[in-house]
Amino acid sequence: MLDSEMKENVRWGILGPGRIAESFARDVVQVEGCVLQAVASRDVERARAFAERHGAEIAYGDYAEMLADEAVDVVYVATPHAFHAEQIRMCLEAGKPVLCEKPVTISPDDLRPLIALAEEKKLFFMEGLWSRFSPAWRQARRWIDEGRIGTSRHLTASFGFRGPKDPENRLLNPSLGGGALWDVGIYTLAFATTMLGTQVEETAVQARFGGTGVDEDASMMLRFAGGAVAQLFCSVNTQTRHEATIEGDEGRIVFPPDFWRPESVELITPKATDERCFLDTPPGFQLEIAHVRDALRDRLLQSPVIPLAESLLWQEIIYPWVRRFPDFN
Ligand SMILES: NC(=O)c1ccc[n+]([C@@H]2O[C@H](COP(=O)([O-])OP(=O)(O)OC[C@H]3O[C@@H](n4cnc5c(N)ncnc54)[C@H](OP(=O)(O)O)[C@@H]3O)[C@@H](O)[C@H]2O)c1
């Protein structure tokens, strides 16, 4: 349970001080009511250097040691996907609420028991997919709910980038959960379920496999209840424009690049003057971090913005396709 001190400040611990943890640590100290308490790495020197750069109180050279620290209120897991399930379990077993980077796991069979464990322990648990907090995503969803584009028929989203060529890199290495679907496809999928809902009736995936056997480019097609169709593309090999659109029978909503971190969104209808909203969006993780702070203070066990049922749906959509891929084991 949360101690009284947390009412003052939510004290974060970071597990896995790598690339994305750098951005998270820079943002966590910008959020009122949050402090960076601790960081844990397998390498104590890496933890110390990270703690020094970001002003963390304490650096650990062992994850379990940080999880035993009573001064840590919540843990941010920021390791490659393949380690998430085991590390989330460690956090929950140690009594710590968890925010884990996307994709939360790489199989629905890994996620289900973790959801049950969090429930049993009465601990907050959430997948971190920060685009979901984007004010532009929320504005688009409001327009859809208000009927401004009529009935949604067609959604597109594309997220591809030229990733590293090193076959050991987590993006290409199958044993680290490599591939485009898990890394960036999940943003396009989250965009689709944000805008069209979670009643997905059918999915299909086509992919191109690179030399390491992972999906370097993949295209998903989804059909939603009501008949709307989503066409999604992701790549860790090819730069795309990162655009996204939702087309309805009375108008459309257009996201500029980069749809996964937009500062504006446009509504185009034949009836009204086009509306373009520029939204005051803090860069990075700040809205997600503030959301977790509030959820902990309100003693929520799940996020209403990214419910675990939706995380499970994303797992259930991607996993069956990934496991068909040539080098899956
Ligand atoms: N939200 C976003 O915008 C965003 C952006 C990029 C990535 N991500 C997500 O964040 C997670 C981490 O990505 P990243 O690029 O930051 O990872 P990374 O820098 O490659 O690694 C992060 C940490 O994970 C541990 N690690 C790395 N490789 C390992 C290995 N082979 N075996 C065991 N531990 C290993 C290391 O922890 P130690 O220091 O303990 O050794 C490392 O410091 C991924 O799940 C990714 O999807 C999110």
Q: Which of 85, 124, 132, 14 is nearest to 315 (CA)?
A: 85
- SS3 state of residue 45: helix
- 156 and 188 housed in the same domain: yes
- 139 and 271 housed in the same domain: yes
Q: What percent of the chain has pLDDT over 70?
A: 96
278-328: pLDDT as tens digits: 888 887 999 999 999 999 999 999 999 999 999 999 999 999 998 776 655
Using N-to-C axis directions, what is the helix angle for 135-145 and 186-196, rounded to 10°? 30
Inside any domain, residue 245: yes
- 79 and 177 housed in the same domain: no
- 169 and 115 housed in the same domain: no
For residue 81, the ligand 1 atom closest to its alpha carbon is 45
User: What pLDDT is recorded for position 238?
Assistant: 97
Inside any domain, residue 26: yes
- 46 and 139 housed in the same domain: no
What is the rounded distance in angstroms from the CA atom of residue 208 to the CA atom of residue 99? 32
Q: In the structure encoding, which two tokens stand for residue 272, read together?
A: 């009204």
Distance, CA of 138 to chain centre = 16
Identify the burial level of 287 via C-beta atoms within 10 angstroms of its C-beta, where 0-12 means exposed, 13-18 middle and 19 or more buried.
Answer: middle
Inside any domain, residue 187: yes
**Greatest CA separation found in the chain?**
61
For residue 42, the ligand 1 atom closest to its alpha carbon is 40
For residue 260, the ligand 1 atom closest to its alpha carbon is 3
- 59 and 183 housed in the same domain: no
- 119 and 144 housed in the same domain: no
Distance, CA of 291 to chain centre = 14
Give distance in angstroms: CA of 41 to centre of ligand 1.
Answer: 11
Inside any domain, residue 174: yes
- 142 and 227 housed in the same domain: yes
By alpha-carbon position, which residue is closest to atom 18 of ligand 1?
A: 18
- The answer to whether 113 and 296 have CB atoms below 8 angstroms apart is no
Residue 54 belongs to domain spanning = 4-130+286-304
Give distance in angstroms: CA of 83 to centre of ligand 1.
Answer: 9
Q: In the structure encoding, which two tokens stand for residue 103, read together?
A: 């994709």
- SS3 state of residue 43: coil
- 40 and 171 housed in the same domain: no
Inside any domain, residue 316: no
Inside any domain, residue 325: no
Inside any domain, residue 140: yes
- 94 and 219 housed in the same domain: no
- SS3 state of residue 5: helix
- Beta strands, E only, 161-283: 200-209, 215-224, 229-235, 244-248, 251-255, 264-268, 275-278
Q: Does the pTM of the predicted model rise above 0.85? A: yes
For residue 176, the ligand 1 atom closest to its alpha carbon is 31
Pocket of ligand 1, beta carbon within 6 A? 16-20, 41-43, 46, 78-81, 83, 101-102, 130, 170, 176, 183
Cis link prior to 109 (omega < 30° from 0)? no
Give distance in angstroms: CA of 125 to centre of ligand 1.
Answer: 19
Inside any domain, residue 169: yes
Q: Which of 153, 302, 134, 131 is nearest to 142 (CA)?
A: 134
- 126 and 140 housed in the same domain: no
User: What pLDDT is recorded for position 158?
Assistant: 98
User: What pLDDT is recorded for position 123?
Assistant: 98
């584009």: which residue's tokens? 149
| Predicted confidence (pLDDT) at residue 114 exceeds the cutoff of 90 | yes
Number of domains in the chain: 2
Report the CATH number that the domain containing residue 186 is assigned in CATH: 3.30.360.10
Q: What is the chain's Cα-based Rg?
A: 20
Give distance in angstroms: CA of 81 to centre of ligand 1.
Answer: 8
Give distance in angstroms: CA of 17 to centre of ligand 1.
Answer: 7
Percent composition of the chain: helix, strand, coil (DSSP 3-state, to 5) = 35, 25, 40
Report the CATH number that the domain containing residue 121 is assigned in CATH: 3.40.50.720
- 116 and 143 housed in the same domain: no
User: What pLDDT is recorded for position 2?
Assistant: 53
